Structure 1
Amino acid sequence: MVGAKPSGGETVLEVRDLRLELSAKDGARLPVLEEVSLKVGRGEIVGIVGESGCGKSVLSLSVLGLLPPSIRVAGGGIYNGERKELHRLGEKSLQRIRGKEIAMIFQDPMTSLNPGMTVGKQVAEAIRLHTGASKREAEEKTVGLFRKVGLPRPETLYHEYPHRLSGGMRQRVMIAMAVSCQPDLLIADEPTTALDVTIQAQILKLMKTLREEDGTSILLISHDLGLISGVCDRIAVMYAGRIVEEGAAAEVLRHPAHPYTAGLLASLALPSKKGTRLHSIPGSVPALRERGPGCAFASRCPYAADRCLAEKPALRGVAGSAFPRSAACHLLGEEGGLANVGS
């Protein structure tokens, strides 16, 4: 397993060779995730990046046992810091873990919040459920959490309904709810979607603060590599249900070892690229039924060879990296980076 921190650190989440299958209406079993392995250490922020359809969100849902009935765990496992097999737990056991040990922030807070209940009461109820706090204690803690996440007028805001808050404020309420019981791990699935760039920066800064002050581990999921590049310790790049590259964020961003990662980086709109035409990756992520025996990225890769179309590349170590790092590409050069690919 790769990681940017020493292997002796405490692990709060381990996904080990996870395989998920979708049961189609015609009886076919289609691979959704294939042998996905990932670790999140104590106080670490790990980013999962990839286009829509790569499997990022379904991975996060599998951790909390929130998969739809049509998708099942076909192999591998999911473990928390206490080595519990989360993938084998029943609904009652998972309910005790959700929110208390592992919490999740969904990308659309408006659909996650109850429109008929004030935001303060919703957070307070979550606190009472998991901690047994009294009504007054839960209310006081909620106001304190609202203040901590930067919400204005927290005492007044406690009595407001979701529709009266801006998108950024609703997302902060969701973060307050997620961290209310001081979970070991916070999963944030596209937490800045539909927010303007200023609010996006504030939300990401808040997550870094939670890590620094509370030691919260964070699994940050996004389609935007540039957005999370300055927040994460490590980055895992997903494509078509597999992790195709993983390593320390700085190394992945400076020297991508997979053509897909390189394509994502080339697509970023950076100040240094002002006046130049942005790169785009041709094609789209293949549908579940379209994944062949070779590399799923081969049809979009400018460097694909015959071997890429016929044989699926294994995730293997990248030479010359300061921290453990891996990539799944037949073109991986011996000294790291892509063979025959210019920087």
Structure 2
Amino acid sequence: MRKKMLILGATALLLTGCGNETLAEVFHTKKTDVTTEKAVTKQQEKIVPEVKVIGENGIGAGIIVKKEDAKLYIVTNGALVSSKPTALVQFNNDKLKEADVHYISTAYNMAILEVPYNASVKVPNVYNGELNQLAVYVDSLPHIIKKYSDRVAAYYIDADQNTLIGSPVLEAENGELVGIYFKRKQNGVSQPFILPFKDIAQLLDEWIEGTMKTSDRLAQSKNLSHYIEQGDKEAVQQAIDQYGKNIFAYNVDEIKLFLDTFYKHLKAAVDIHDASIMKPFVGTDDLQSTLDNMVANYASKQAKIRFYNTTIKNISMEGQNIVVHAITEYVLTNSAGQEALANSMMVYEINKNKQGEYKLIRLTTEE
């Protein structure tokens, strides 16, 4: 695939059709597609709602609370997945899937993971009764829910030290979902704690249907960083090796914010005809020189540019650098005020230093 140094300009959209197809051919194709889809649906793998969740710092558990189209939504402990907006989920068939942190809440110390997996699963009903002295199962072991005597209406079980945080608490008789097993800090001491699911059930649909801003997710995650407990790092590494990719080597949210900030400043540089404001984000003289020339070119033509969306398609590591493939969309405005919508598949090579600062090393387009 040929690469060239970035020169931003409008791109044409080419629309192609299937003008030579007869109606019968189109109908036949669609009918075949439907038949194939039904066949795939019949062959959906059956899984149980309880899952294992692998975060960067340890291993916990979670439970599938909703299936929508070919996506599964899983509730787990927030601190477990707060260091990076991604996690690995292991199902009862031992399959590992990469998950995005769709929503995270400091108030409840919980997170919702989104996993692309078109499997068949029976989501448990929610238990709405009294919790105190309720017989439940956690990780297939029987327990009785008790209530702390402090002012906080908090429930707990005398769980074993090895009980995974995020484990679902299921009512013993009907298997209804009572809550999620967490740990809380009280006077500096870690104590078992149950988050009653009925307290968040009404909010789940809102959280799942909504879209959390990158900046909000980062802020919530940082608030939960104090509650991160270092777990079995060896087991985490084994899961990474099994999956074949270290999804914890970078932070997608930080990269997205960096790119958004980079383009906001690039727009400003074009507006004021001064590329020197890009220096805090640029890591090489060659790239700075390219930006200087680009800004000067736009200034000479009295043109403007507005970046409005960057969609990340793939991230990988090359040595110490992060390589991001993304589609960047922008609007070009000429001196006459005419606008042209354009997009480019971009490759960003980024370095993050020990101080946590991001620098763009190389910027190219893909054709």
TM-score relative to the length of structure 2: 0.28
Greater share of residues in helix = 1
Larger Rg: 2
TM-score relative to the length of structure 1: 0.29
Greater share of residues in strand = 2
